[in-house]
């Protein structure tokens, strides 16, 4: 098997932060992968830490996905193509790319219908047993290594992944000019959802949370902000046409649904409990549309365009930066620092 690469620049081994069980993360040497047919080898230069990474680190599982063997975390990644596998245009070498972390089978009914995010054979980075991007090099399918313009920083390119979650949710909610949007939870997804809803034309966006620092970031994103520890949502007098639920807290979800106006749309984004109390009379009497959302499909071109145009800014999300040897700090900083929003790991440091 041959590859096109700048071979002198690619070492035989690389560092990887490997999870061996709850709160057991070690820095190890592993072979640099060889890109297979249709794959590119990416030198990973920035990886955002996600709540799922933190959950795997703390608990060793998320629902049915259990860490049964050593696992490399991280799925919000970007870097530079340094080698091309068979069948890949060698001119891709040297290009900066954002990595879409899920590789579907491409042949099932969901994939053929364009819903590849629902592919039952999806291989998703940092989802057991698939290794992720807390490492120095990563081989990925060429179709899911998206070229990014020079105007995007490497951190911007990595954070196109959470932005894609917001783009997909706004599409599912059909956010359009004139909408009044309610976003519950001012974490990274809630904050990018606020900017995305604005970019989609929403005339008003209200973000709720209880952390003052995050509410300030919501205001900086062009949204109104409500501290629900001081003013309960039902007392705010806000009747949205769209609810983007990002908290994952069942009680918050039920309360927020009760505020949605007639013929409103509700999209559940946050991952919380397996069940929520559903205010069924509100859903029925107001003919609300309610749907879940799972990852994304066909979102990277839109996400890139939103950042390139300046309609969405991602740099304000980054609160902490670490080298690969400090990956454990990146996974625990949110529990120690109230100002933490998004920690980014730079594996080449």
Q: Is 189 exposed, middle or buried (0-12, 13-18, 19+ CB in 10 A)?
A: buried
Q: If you average pLDDT over every residue of the chain, what do you get?
A: 95
Helix (H, G, I), strand (E, B) or coil at 23: coil
What percent of the chain clears pLDDT 90, i.e. is strictly above it?
Answer: 94
**What is the arithmetic mean of pLDDT over 211-220?**
96
- φ, ψ of residue 230 to 5 degrees: the values are -105, -40
What is the model's pLDDT at position 162? 98
What is the model's pLDDT at position 150? 96
What is the model's pLDDT at position 304? 98
What is the model's pLDDT at position 274? 78
pLDDT class of 247 with cuts at 50, 70, 90: very high
Nearest to 138 by CA among 302, 312, 14: 14
Distance CA 76, CA 155 (A): 9
Which of 4-13, 113-122, 321-330 shows the lowest mean pLDDT across its residues?
4-13
Question: What CATH class does 4-159+314-346 carry?
Answer: alpha beta
- Residue 343, pLDDT > 60, answer yes
Q: What are the structural domain ranges in the chain?
A: 4-159+314-346, 163-292
What percent of the chain clears pLDDT 70, i.e. is strictly above it?
Answer: 98
What is the model's pLDDT at position 6? 47
What is the model's pLDDT at position 299? 98
For residue range 49-78, what is the model confidence (pLDDT) as tens digits? 999 999 999 999 988 899 999 999 999 999
**What pairing do the DSSP bridges indicate for beta strands 224-227 and 61-62?**
unpaired
What is the model's pLDDT at position 276? 87
For residue range 1-37, what is the model confidence (pLDDT) as tens digits? 345 554 448 999 999 999 999 999 999 999 999 999 9
Q: Determine whether domain 163-292 maps to CATH 3.90.180.10.
A: no
What is the model's pLDDT at position 3? 54
Cβ–Cβ under 8 Å, residues 309 and 149: no
- Residue 200, pLDDT > 60, answer yes
Distance CA 211, CA 193 (A): 17
For residue range 68-112, what is the model confidence (pLDDT) as tens digits? 999 999 999 999 999 999 999 999 999 999 999 999 999 999 999
pLDDT class of 321 with cuts at 50, 70, 90: very high
What is the model's pLDDT at position 2? 43
Nearest to 321 by CA among 348, 290, 298: 348
Domains 4-159+314-346 and 163-292 share a fold: no
For residue range 130-183, what is the model confidence (pLDDT) as tens digits? 999 999 999 999 999 999 999 999 999 999 999 999 999 999 999 999 999 999
Spell out the long-range contacts of 331-339 with Cβ–Cβ below 8 A and sequence spacing 24 or more.
Answer: 331/25, 331/49, 331/53, 331/54, 331/57, 331/73, 332/54, 332/57, 334/54, 338/211, 338/213, 339/213
């Amino acid at each position: 098997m041959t590859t096109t690469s700048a071979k002198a620049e690619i070492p035989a081994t690389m560092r990887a932060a490997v999870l061996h069980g709850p709160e057991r993360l070690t820095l190890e040497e592993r072979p640099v992968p060889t890109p297979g047919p249709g794959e590119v080898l990416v030198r990973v230069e920035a990886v955002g830490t996600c709540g799922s990474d933190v959950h795997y680190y703390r608990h060793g599982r998320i629902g049915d996905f259990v860490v049964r063997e050593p696992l490399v975390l991280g799925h919000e990644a970007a870097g530079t193509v340094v080698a091309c596998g068979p069948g890949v245009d060698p001119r891709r070498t040297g290009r900066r790319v954002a990595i879409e972390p899920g590789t579907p089978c491409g042949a099932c009914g969901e994939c053929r219908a364009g819903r590849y995010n629902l592919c039952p054979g999806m291989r998703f980075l940092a989802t057991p047993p698939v290794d992720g991007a807390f490492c120095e090099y990563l081989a990925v399918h060429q179709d899911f290594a998206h070229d990014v313009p020079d105007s995007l920083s490497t951190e911007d390119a990595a954070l196109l992944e959470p932005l894609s979650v917001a783009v997909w949710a706004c599409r599912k909610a059909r956010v359009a000019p004139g909408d009044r949007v309610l976003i519950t939870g001012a974490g990274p997804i809630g904050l990018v959802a606020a900017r995305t809803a604005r970019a989609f034309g929403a005339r008003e966006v209200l973000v709720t949370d209880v952390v003052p620092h995050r509410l300030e970031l919501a205001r900086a994103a062009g949204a109104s902000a409500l501290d629900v520890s001081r003013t309960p949502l039902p007392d705010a007098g806000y009747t949205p046409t769209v609810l983007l639920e990002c908290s994952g807290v069942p009680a918050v979800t039920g309360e927020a649904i009760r505020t949605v106006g007639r013929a409103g749309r509700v999209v559940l984004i946050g991952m919380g409990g397996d069940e929520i109390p559903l205010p069924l009379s509100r859903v029925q009497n107001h003919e609300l549309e309610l749907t879940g959302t799972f990852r994304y499909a066909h979102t990277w071109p839109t996400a890139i365009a939103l950042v390139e145009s300046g309609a969405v800014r991602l740099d304000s999300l980054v609160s902490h930066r670490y080298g690969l040897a400090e990956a454990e700090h990146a996974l625990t900083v949110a529990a120690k620092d109230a100002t933490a929003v998004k920690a980014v790991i730079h594996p080449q440091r």
